[in-house]
Structures are given as C-alpha cells and as structure tokens.
Amino acid sequence: KRHGVYNFKQKKRYSVTDLVSCQRKSLYKQLGVEQEELLADLTVEGMWSAVRGDFLHNMTYAYKWREMDMEYKVPLNDGREAMVIGRLDMYDWKTKTVMDLKSTKNVQWQIKKGFLPKLEHILQVQCYGTMFEQYIPIENLNIVYVDNSDIVTYKVKKHDLTNWIKTRIQEIENAVDNKQMINGEPSGLCQFCRYQTKCQSDGNGIEHTPMSAPKGGSDEKK
C-alpha cells in the first residue's frame, strides 16, 4: 500500500469508516462519483488539524500489536462477496483490549456538551471487535480521545455487529444494482464531505448551502 501497489477492485470494497458514516456517501464511492473540492480556505489551523492525527498516532508505538490490517468477507444475497477493510490502531494482548485512537480538539469541552463519545466511533470500535475476534481474543473495547493536552478513554460494550455490517452493505449494493438513491444521513460532518453539491441536488440530504463544489466549477463560470 505504501508503494502505491493495489491488487483489488474498488467496487464492493468498503472501509469500516464507510460503514459507520453516511450511507449515501458510501454509495457515491461505490458508483465512482468524482469528489468535489471544499470551498473553505486552507488556514494554518486547518493544516495543523490535518496532520495532528498523524503525530498523535505515534502513541501506537507504545504497543507491540499496532496498526493491524484486516480483510473481512461479507456474503451478499446474490452469492457474491463484499470485503470490509479495517485497521486496528492498538491491541493490548495482556488485557485483551482493542483501542481505537481519535485525535480531536477541546476534548473536555466536547465531553461537557455531550458530544463524546460519538455514535460512529462506538460503532467503529464494535466493528473492529466483530471483525478481529475470530483471530485474537477480545474482552474490552476502548475509544481513546486525544487533543493537545488531554487523553480520555471510554469503555465500549462489546456487541456482535455481523448482521448489522451485512445489512448496511447489502442496502448499498441493492441501491447500486437498482439504480436507486439512498437517503442522506445529515450530521455535523457534512460540512467536510466532498459530495455536498451532489447530495443536495439528489434531495433528502443536506439542507445547508453546499461548502464544496465540482472540480473546475469556478473556472467554468469564468
């Protein structure tokens, strides 16, 4: 992967992030819809946010079992298979604990406002638990939130998401085969999505003014 060598087809291949985020966004990816350009200006703060996660992920070097990749096969109703790709941040073999690291900002403020832990993060670590449990013993699931000054860990209840994963993927595959559009699942993350114009035009999606635009759109207007 680091050398840019891939031996797989993009379609019917999902990341765990695809499953726990907006279904419509995952559908756009499967359809090969071109991503748009975000309209927000690139600031120093924005650049730091983009690389902060990479710096903080150096914490994973404290564990011998880290950044473990997984390919998880999901049988579809028509006999085909889809593949879910996941990468486990950290695993403590002594306590049999899966840990997913999330870099963010203002951790204490988000906790006070009830924004953490996020549902998609809970589902994500539960997906890892489901996918990896057939290979390694898992007794605990933790989400570790980290900002520039705080580290907060949340314990998440184990839950077998085998059926949830299959249902989630099957609904997307059905939409592809039947040429149907899935309803959007608007959230605060929509402002960072690179399909906002497309999502708004398809209806039942974002309601705010799109903060992204098709590539080359500004030049065409000129």
Return the residue matching tokens 């790709």: 85
Quick check: 136 and 128 in contact, CB under 8 A?
Answer: no
**Tens of pLDDT, residue by residue, the chain (222 residues):** 444 444 444 458 999 999 999 999 999 999 999 999 988 755 555 555 556 666 666 777 677 788 899 999 999 999 999 999 999 999 999 999 999 999 888 999 999 999 999 999 999 999 999 999 999 999 999 999 998 889 999 999 999 999 999 999 999 999 999 999 999 999 988 988 999 999 999 999 998 999 999 987 644 443
Q: What is the pairing mode between strands 97-103 and 140-146? A: parallel
Measured N-to-C along each axis, helices 119-132 and 162-178 cross at an angle, to the nearest 10 degrees, of: 110
CA distance 69 to 66: 9
Of 85, 86, 74, 72, the C-alpha closest to 171 is 74
